Chain A
Amino acid sequence: MNMLSLACKSLWSRRTGVTLIVVSIALSVILILGVDRIRAETREHFTRTVSGTDLIVGARSSPTQVLLYTVFRMGDPTGNITWKSYQQISAHPKVRFAIPVSLGDSHRGYRVLGTTGAYFEHLAYGEGRSLVFAEGRGFESVFDAVLGAEVAARLGYRVGDAVILAHGTRDDGLSRHNDRPFSVTGVLAPTGTPVDSTVHVSLAGIDVIHAGWGTGAHRVDGAASQSGETQPADIEPKSITAFFIGLHSRMDVFLLQRAINGFPGEALTAILPGVALQALWDLFGTAETALVVVTSLTLLTGVLGMIAGILATLNERRREIAVYRAVGARMRDIVALLVAESTLLALAGAVLGTGMLTLATATLGDFARMHFGFAPSTGMPSPREWSLLAVIVLTGSLAGLIPAWRAYRLSLHDGLTAGT
């Protein structure tokens, strides 16, 4: 029998206490890997709120501001872009697609965004995942609306429901009862991005909402709805808020960005969404550091628990150690035995913890994807997680030196005569 199987037998004979130690290490491992995975996934998801889009163009302002109002639909745009500029730029031969968006209205707390069918065709998030309709289809007429998953869920709208979209956020009957309601033609599947909390209408729809307010007074004769009915959905507006651009080749992105920033007709800002998102995320760097600190403390707790667990049993094992000494064990064998023991405990804890975490993510993954639009990835641990696991096991091994040192001292004192 070698020393490793001796250590295994010894551990097995104390399996009740050992199980508790292993479970406590496993819980630390779950917390450490779980927190780290959620941190990484959140970052990943955040920085891929928009993907497949190479440039976002808005009126001249800071990149962060353009990002905030176009992608996150937060704050107000600094200004509009003329339809003419949009047409000129989107006609550039290097442009594969362009999605115009028009913002500025909201419906019961949710932003209303005017756009075209290109939005549903080309806008992507995550690793190139396109928007999917959970129900229905895109809009075809002026009075069609497509709802994000959260809007539909919170406000209880379904396909075919009538939604009254009025200019501004007021929701009293007075301001809307004469307006022609929009009808919901589609509801999008959850994405975990601001798309979920957006009401999408056609660009013409936005114009209709505004039409009654063009002079600053509500037209009570319903002329807006009358004219709206005769308008096709793809009517050309005078201006839009911003537009998303996809290129044929990503190599041209800086070329086109320079061209747009120096656009002669109008002061524009073109941003690279990935870069801007990364910069925005880095603002939250402190929160990330806090998570890392919490994680490290968790590891410390787990390891201290293990040391305490081994030390507690050491006194009653003095006779066992004296027997090993009597049959020829060297001091370094005793130390090796205890270090092997703590290594096995840490290893078992790491395996159990990783297994439980994998099981949990696999089981809860669909639930999370349904409700949050994204979920922690399942499958084998990533290289980073492997190195975290290695650190955990190594820390456990080294922690074994503390009881080993204690056993060494006891054994020096006891010699062959422990317990007699």
Chain B
Amino acid sequence: MSLQTPVIDISAVHFGWPGEPVLLRIEKLRIETGERVFLRGGSGSGKSTLLGLVAGIHPVKEGQLEVLGCDFTRMSAASRDDFRGGHIGTVFQQFNLVPCLDVVENVLLPLTFSRALRLSMGGAAVARPRALELLQRLGIDTQLHRRLPAELSVGQQQRVAVARALLGSPRLVLCDEPTSALDADNRDSFVRVLLAETEASGSAVLFVSHDADLAQHFHRSLDIEAFRATSRRMS
């Protein structure tokens, strides 16, 4: 057990969309530094909403939600956004990249919006070697650097997305079904390289997928049903 502040510390968070019944009821969820957690759940199960809460996109009114010791329930939407840009990496199912930007520009994109990241990394000039290094480690050749996302395979796009998520060596990386658009071979090699890189940068990972086979790569496995206000199994 690490003595550091937990990466995620949630207790008694009840969340529902305005005017709708409570969707998620998270009594306790704690993720430590460098921990790799697998969260299983199908589509429409509320897993994306849970990631939205942890990423600071959706406002939390009730309970306690701390990420790296910062209390999201007391922060403004804008400061949560800035925090996300500086400390949280994200990889989604697909369409992680901005179509009009080339590979390197996509990796450096967080610097455009996050003041926190600019402060911690020291500007684009410093960040660029880091971006190139990440791309190389993820197997994206130099000749692909000036390509647009549409000119890459889906597997390549997902690896560029990982490079971007890891740009600022974030303490937390959120993954939402990042392998669902990949075939089996690509899927395993993607998960392997993702976890190797997050381990190298010391990032904790919260990985959401419906694919239970992937759970073996993680320290811990959870089921979204545990956090659902109305369990499917009970109904």
Who on chain A is nearest to B47 by CB?
A417
| Count class of interface residues, chain A | 20 to 34
Asked whether, in the complex, the Cβ of B94 is within 8 Å of the Cβ of A323, the reply is: no
* Contact between chains at A330 and B82 (CB < 8 Å): yes
Contact residues, A306-348 vs B (CB, 8 A) = 319-320, 322-333
Q: Does residue B158 face the partner (Cβ distance < 8 Å to A)?
A: no
Chain A residues in 8 Å Cβ range of B142: none
Tell me whether A331 and B78 are in contact (CB under 8 A). yes
**CB–CB A416/B52 < 8 A:** yes
Contact indicator B48/A323 (Cβ below 8 Å): no
Decide if A415 touches B57 in the complex (CB within 8 Å).
Answer: yes
A416 with B48: CB separation less than 8 A: yes
Chain B residue at minimum C-beta to C-beta distance from A328: B85
Closest Cβ of chain A to B108, distance in Å, is: 7
B52 contact set on A, CB distance < 8 A: 415-417
Contact of B40 with A by CB under 8 A: no
State the Cβ distance, A140 to closest chain B Cβ, in Å.
77
Closest to A12 in B: B100
CB proximity to B under 8 Å, residues A270-302: none
Which residues of the partner chain B approach A1 to less than 8 Å between Cβ atoms?
Answer: 105, 108-109, 111-112, 124
**Residue A9 at the B interface, CB < 8 A?**
yes
By a CB distance below 8 angstroms, the chain B residues around A327 are 84-85, 90, 109-110, 112-114, 164
Docked complex: B80-127 residues within 8 A CB-CB of A: 81-82, 84-86, 90, 92-101, 105, 108-114, 116-117, 124
If A415-B58, A416-B52, A417-B52 touch, does A323 touch B113 (CB 8 Å cutoff)? no
Total count of chain B residues near the partner, CB < 8 A: 39
* Across-interface contacts of A330 in B (CB, < 8 A): 77-78, 81-82, 113
CB-contacts of B17-43 with A (<8 A)? none
B residues in contact with A78, CB < 8 Å: none
User: Is there an interface contact between B113 and A324, defined as CB atoms closer than 8 Å?
Assistant: yes
CA distance A329 to B116 in the complex (A): 12
**What residue in chain A is nearest B53 (Cβ atoms)?**
A415
| Dominant secondary structure of chain A at its interface with chain B | helix
The reply to whether B95 and A333 form a contact with Cβ atoms under 8 Å apart is no
Q: Which residues of B contact A319 (CB under 8 A)?
A: 95
Q: Which residues of A contact B96 (CB under 8 A)?
A: 323
Interface centre among A330, A332, A415 (most CB of B within 10 A): A330
Q: Do A2 and B82 have beta carbons less than 8 Å apart?
A: no
A383 interface residue, CB < 8 Å from B?
no
Most buried by B among A319, A328, A333: A328
Minimum C-beta distance from B52 to chain A (A): 4
Q: A323 to B124, alpha carbons, bound, how many Å?
A: 19
- B62 vs chain A, min Cβ distance (A): 19
Instruction: Let me know if B225 is at the binding interface, CB within 8 A.
Output: no
Q: Could you say which residues of chain B place their CB within 8 Å of the CB of A156?
A: none
10 further A-B pairs in the complex, CB-CB below 8 A; given A327-B112, A329-B81, A332-B78: A1-B124, A3-B112, A10-B98, A323-B95, A324-B109, A326-B55, A327-B84, A328-B82, A331-B81, A416-B48
Q: Interface residues, chain B, CB within 8 Å of chain A? A: 48-49, 51-52, 55, 57-58, 77-78, 81-82, 84-86, 90, 92-101, 105, 108-114, 116-117, 124, 164, 176-177
